[in-house]
């Protein structure tokens, strides 16, 4: 991948990383409020909210980790190359999922193995 395209993807990845960090701070604040607020009418509602916030936190942390790995690949001039087959990742796939590590074919194969 040429330097200009890699730079564009790097900018997108960094912006998304910053959005994730802001969102995680907001979720942390929401979690603290939910845990400290004891005047819930329904204990189950409080527990459900806390579990939801925990799942959201896990999801955003996972996405942040994927973004950090993608940024490391940009810095190592390996961005846009499938980690499995070492062929270029399709441009539409990178446009949709800039943090992706695998081409469509390799990702489909990985997902089929996970279903078994």
- Average pLDDT of the chain to the nearest whole number: 92
pLDDT surpasses 70 at 39? no
Could you tell me if 11 and 54 lie in one domain? yes
Domain count, the chain: 2
Could you tell me if 89 and 111 lie in one domain? yes
Token pair recorded at residue 14: 């960094």
Q: Quote the CA–CA distance of 22 and 28 in Å, as a whole number.
A: 10
* CATH label of the domain that carries residue 27: 1.20.120.910
Assign 1 a pLDDT band (cuts: 50, 70, 90). Answer: confident
Could you tell me if 115 and 66 lie in one domain? no
**pTM score:** 0.82
Only one residue has tokens 């409080």, namely 46
Q: Report pLDDT for 47.
A: 86
Question: pLDDT per residue over 68-94, tens digit each?
Answer: 999 999 999 999 999 999 999 999 999
* More confidently predicted of 103 and 34: 103
Could you tell me if 9 and 65 lie in one domain? yes
3-state secondary structure string across 6-66 = HHHHHHHHHHHHHHHHHHHHHHHHHHHHHHHCCCCCCHHHHHHHHHHHHHHHHHHHHHHHH
């Amino acid at each position: 991948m040429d330097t200009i395209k890699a730079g564009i993807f790097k900018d997108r990845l960094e912006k998304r990383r910053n959005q994730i960090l802001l969102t995680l701070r907001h979720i942390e604040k929401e979690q603290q409020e939910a845990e400290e607020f004891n005047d819930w009418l329904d204990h189950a509602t409080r527990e459900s909210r806390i579990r939801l916030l925990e799942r959201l936190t896990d999801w955003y942390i996972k996405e942040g980790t994927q973004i950090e790995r993608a940024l490391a690949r940009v810095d190592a001039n390996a961005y846009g190359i499938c980690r499995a087959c070492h062929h270029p990742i399709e441009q539409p796939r990178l446009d949709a999922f800039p943090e992706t590590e695998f081409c469509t074919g390799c990702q489909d194969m990985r997902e089929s193995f996970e279903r078994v």
